[in-house]
Amino acid sequence: MKVTVAAIGKFKNSPEKEIFASYIKRIPWQFELKEFEAKKALSGEQLKSAEAELLLSAIPKSSKIISLDERGKNISSLELAGIVSAWQSEGTSSIAFVIGGADGLSDNLRQKSDFILSFGKLTWPHMLVRSMLAEQVYRAYSIISGHPYHRE
């Protein structure tokens, strides 16, 4: 499985980056983080549209797209693993997770998504979300492969 995370904003040296890296090292799947900075002169829908173009340009053509959005579904780790496993069974070999900027995702990008995921109703710092996502991808891998990391 190839996993791409396309995100607005760039990691700096931080505890969040270290957490992200520690989980990525554990995942045997091919994993790539693609980070983008949008034009600061834009705002509102123009900014979200420009960010969407950048994010979509990073996604491999045959990927299933999971967008992280506060209006998405709040699901369990087992459910996320089930979605990934089902896609694998159907022949999907590439998944892309998309994390927008501070203003969120454009409607166009949400419509192109195969699944819209929420990490709950709380607002999380975008850099921390990357670390949380890396942990959840590792947990999904663990569940799918039968590794004992995940306990019910």
- In this predicted model, what pLDDT tens digit does every residue of 5-32 receive, in sequence order? 999 999 989 999 999 999 999 999 999 9
- In this predicted model, what pLDDT tens digit does every residue of 73-132 receive, in sequence order? 999 999 999 999 999 999 999 999 999 998 899 999 999 999 999 999 998 998 999 999
Return the axis-axis angle of helices 77-89 and 126-145, rounded to nearest 10°: 60
- In this predicted model, what pLDDT tens digit does every residue of 38-48 receive, in sequence order? 777 888 889 99
Model pTM above 0.85: yes
- Fold classification of 2-145 is Alpha/beta knot (3.40.1280)
The answer to whether the beta carbons of residues 51 and 23 sit under 8 Å apart is no
